[in-house]
Amino acid sequence: MIKFLDLQKVTESHGKEINEAVSRVVNSGWYLQGKENEQFEKDYAEYIGTKHAIGVANGLDAINWIFRAYIEMGRLKPGDEVIVPANTFIASILPLSENGLVPVLVEPDINTYEIDPEKIEAAITPRTKAILIVHLYGQCAYTDKIGDLCKRYNLLLIEDNAQAHGCKFKGRRTGSLGNAAAHSFYPGKNLGALGDAGGVTTDDDELAKTIRALANYGSTKKYVFKYLGRNSRLDEIQAAVLDVKLKYLDADNERRKQIAEMYIKGITNPAVITPKVTDRDAHVFHIFPIRTNKRNELLKYLADNGVQTIIHYPIAPHKQECYKDWNGWSFPISEQIHAEELSLPISPVMTDEEVNVVIQLINAWES
C-alpha cells in the first residue's frame, strides 16, 4: 500500500540523530525551558529570518498568542475584524473567535487556492484591524498587493505558516513577511515534531516578550503574574527533535518539489486538475492538491488500488456546526474546492516508483 504519509519512515530517515537528541534530553534531567528550547529558537529565527522565535505548545496556540498579545498590548480589541481565507483549516479561525475578534472570510483564488488578493479590499471596513494570510498547502499566499493594502489601511499582517516552513517570497521566507507568524510543528507538517509543538516568529520585541509571558502562565518573572495566561510551552524533547530536523528541512522540501514536478508532468488525465506553479521557491508542497468533479469516485478508486489519499478539507469552516450562525453564508469558490479537492501522497521519503504508480493509476482512471 502507498501511504498518504509514512511518518515512521520520515522519522527513521533521521533516526540516529533524533534518537541521540531524545536520549540527551532524557538523560539531562532538564525537560522544560532549557538549552534545547534556546538553541532551537535561535536556529529557527535565523532560518526564517526574524529577530525572535518563541516555542509554544502547538500551532493553534501560536495563532492564539499572537492575537491575544496584540489585545494585551492595546493594538487590537474584541470586536475588531480580521480578514482570513474562507477555505483555511479551521485552526486558523478558532483563535480569532477565542479572543472575541470577528473573522471576516474572503474567498480564495480557484487557481492557487490562496486568499484572493483582488477580493480583500472589498472586505475592509473601519473595524478591520488585521489580515491573517494562510500559506495553504505549502504555497506562499503573500503578494505585494496584500502588503500594500496593509500599509494603506494600517492593518497588521499575520501569517499562518503551519503548512509552509521553508517557503520563500522573493528570497524571504514566509514567516518573516508580516508583523508576526504562527508555525505548527504537528508531526505531519513539513517540519514536524514527535508530538504537538508550535512557534511564533516576529521582529517585534514587545510582542515576543508578551507572548513568552502569556504562554508561561502570564508570568513576566518567576511567581510574578502580569496576565491571565496559560501553560503553552514547547518541551525540551520536541525542541531537540525539531533542531535536528530543521537541518534537513530544505533537502526534504526539495524532494517534495521533485515529487510535485513528477506528478504535474506525469498526470495527463483531463478529468484531473493539478496545481500550477509559477515560482518554484514559493511552494513547498506540504500537500499536493488535485481537483476533479468526481472526487469521491477517484478517492475510492485509488483506495481500491492501494493508494491512500486525504481531503483537505471535506467541510468548509462556514459549514461547521461550531459556526452555526455562518451556515447560511455562501462562498461558492471555497465550497467548490471543498467538494473537488483530493490530496495525493507526498513526503520526502516517497520513492519515484511509488509516485509513478500513483501517476499511472490516475491516468488509467476512467471518470
Ligand X SMILES: *Cc1c(COP(=O)(O)O)cnc(C)c1O
Q: Where along the sequence are the contacts to ligand X (CB under 6 A)? A: 58-60, 88-89, 91-92, 134, 160, 162-163, 184, 186, 196, 198
Q: Which is nearer to ligand X, 64 or 269 (CB)?
A: 64
Cell 492593518 identifies what position? 155
Q: How far is the CB of 74 from ligand X (least distance, A)?
A: 26
Residue type, 307: V
Q: Toward ligand X, which CB reaches closer, 137 or 263?
A: 137
Nearer to ligand X, 162 or 214 (CB): 162
- By beta carbon distance, the residue nearest ligand X is 59
Backbone angles phi, psi at 177, to 5 degrees: -90, -20
CA–CA dist 61, 1 (Å, integer): 35
Shortest separation between residue 286's beta carbon and ligand X, angstroms:
8
Place of cell 489519499: 309
Residue keyed to cell 483555511 = 88
Q: H helices of 267-294, where?
A: none
- As a whole number of angstroms, the distance between CA 66 and CA 69 comes to 5
Taking the complex as a whole, how short is the minimal distance between the CB of residue 201 and ligand X, in angstroms? 15
Output the smallest distance, CB 232 to ligand X, in A: 11
Nearer to ligand X, 62 or 267 (CB): 62
Beta carbon nearer to ligand X, 117 or 138? 138
Contacts 24+ apart (CB under 8 A), 357-362: 357/2, 357/307, 358/2, 358/263, 358/302, 358/307, 359/262, 359/263, 359/266, 359/267, 361/301, 361/302, 361/305, 361/307, 362/267, 362/269, 362/272, 362/290, 362/298, 362/302
CB of 23 to ligand X, least distance (A): 25
Q: How far is the CB of 87 from ligand X (least distance, A)?
A: 10
Q: Which is nearer to ligand X, 196 or 243 (CB)?
A: 196
User: Least distance to ligand X from the beta carbon of 27, Å?
Assistant: 28
Q: Is the bond preceding residue 70 a cis peptide, omega within 30 degrees?
A: no
Which CB sits closer to ligand X, 88 or 347? 88
Could you tell me how far CA 134 lies from the centroid of its own chain?
7
> What does DSSP say about strands 172-173 and 341-344: parallel, antiparallel, or unpaired?
unpaired
